Amino acid sequence: MLVIGIESSAHTFGVGICDDGKVIANEKMMFNISDKGLIPGKVAETHVKNAPKTVEIALKAAGIKIGDIEGVGYTRGPGLGPCLQVGELTAKSIAKRLGVKIAQVNHGAAHVEIARSAAKMKDPLALYVSGGNSQILKSSEKPFRHYEIIGETFDIGVGNMIDNFARAAKLNPAWGSTVAKMAQGGKYVRLPYTVKGMDFAFTGLLTSAIKMLDKASKEDVCYSIQETAFSMLCEATERALLLTKSRELCVCGGVAQSSRLREMLGMVAKENSARFGFASNEFNADNGGMIAFLAERMLKAGMDSNISECGVEQRYRIDRARIA
């Protein structure tokens, strides 16, 4: 089944095409963040400009015509309202025009499912780490197949925490990989470390790290904020591994692109005799491919929606999202 997936929850407008479980095109156009961060209205405006072009490039990359598409999926949420609406509108127009079925996809569930598939795992414990989300997830069949949140951030996502810090430290572009580069050669300075069982909190760490910029070098603070935040995530994940007795661990979401976080989680998995895996970076960053991937499975399972019920939900929690 040829399914097109539209992703627009944040700064990326992504279009992916999936055919029988295989992503055959995964194209994107991005709002330029540089040092400003995201301004929802402005990002949405950029998405409107980019939408038709991105669809066109994706069709070309897959070597198909729009008329070949047999189903549509899009990100219902979570994400920024104005941005999500652009994707919703694009998806609905395609579905209406072609008279094909449409599925509303939870962004986080798509991240986990594509990682699970890439890592060839059956039922892994998943650490989902991105800008707005930081959650430890495990699938559940009751009352329908979905992901249960067994640990999560009490305040902000780890990605936002690092991006906010990067802006305060005047790094450009203000995101994780710049912090990671700056961290090389840094020394450890003490910062708050907050883990409660399988949950964690990042605002205290963020505030202290920003203050610490007056006392320690930028390299040292970058190194320490990264080590502290990732250690917190690893500790909570290890506890969840032990509680669930899971033998598989995967990481997904934007922050999963960090090679340091992967290295650390690899050690956590090894210590607990679990296999560790993740998807390639194109699927960890926001992308339409994963939306198409999960949408195809949902459509095949009859989990399509009427166009009139399609909408967006800024806080669409993963534990309410039924998946196939």
Interface ranges with other proteins (CB under 8 A)? 37-38, 40, 78-80, 131-133, 150, 152-157, 160, 164, 188, 190, 193, 195-199, 203, 206, 227-228, 231, 234-235, 238-239, 241-243, 263-265, 267-268, 271-272, 314-315, 317
CB of 188 vs other proteins, minimal distance in Å: 5
CB of 94 vs other proteins, minimal distance in Å: 26
CB of 111 vs other proteins, minimal distance in Å: 14
* Closer residue to other proteins in complex, CB, 18/241: 241
* Closer residue to other proteins in complex, CB, 50/160: 160
Inter-CA distances, 197 with 2, 28, 160, 228, Å: 43, 38, 22, 16
Q: Are 209 and 222 in contact (CB under 8 A)?
A: no
CB of 300 vs other proteins, minimal distance in Å: 29
Residues contacting 99, CB < 8 A, separation 6+: none
* Closer residue to other proteins in complex, CB, 68/313: 313
The 3-state secondary structure of the chain reads CEEEEEECCCCEEEEEEEECCEEEEEEEEECCCCCCCCCHHHHHHHHHHHHHHHHHHHHHHHCCCHHHCCEEEEEEECCCHHHHHHHHHHHHHHHHHHCCEEEEEEHHHHHHHHHHHHCCCCCCEEEEECCCCEEEEEEECCCCCEEEEEEEECCCCHHHHHHHHHHHCCCCCCCHHHHHHHHCCCCCCCCCCCEECCEECCHHHHHHHHHHCCCCCHHHHHHHHHHHHHHHHHHHHHHHHHHHCCCEEEEECHHHHCHHHHHHHHHHHHHCCCEEEECCHHHHCCCHHHHHHHHHHHHHCCCCECHHHCCCCCCCCHHHCCCC
* Closer residue to other proteins in complex, CB, 266/322: 266
* Closer residue to other proteins in complex, CB, 14/157: 157
CB of 316 vs other proteins, minimal distance in Å: 8
* Closer residue to other proteins in complex, CB, 164/287: 164
CB of 233 vs other proteins, minimal distance in Å: 10
For residues 297 and 32, give the distance between their C-alpha atoms in angstroms, rounded to a whole number: 32
CB of 311 vs other proteins, minimal distance in Å: 16
* Closer residue to other proteins in complex, CB, 160/257: 160
CB of 231 vs other proteins, minimal distance in Å: 5
* Closer residue to other proteins in complex, CB, 68/319: 319
For residues 171 and 99, give the distance between their C-alpha atoms in angstroms, rounded to a whole number: 47
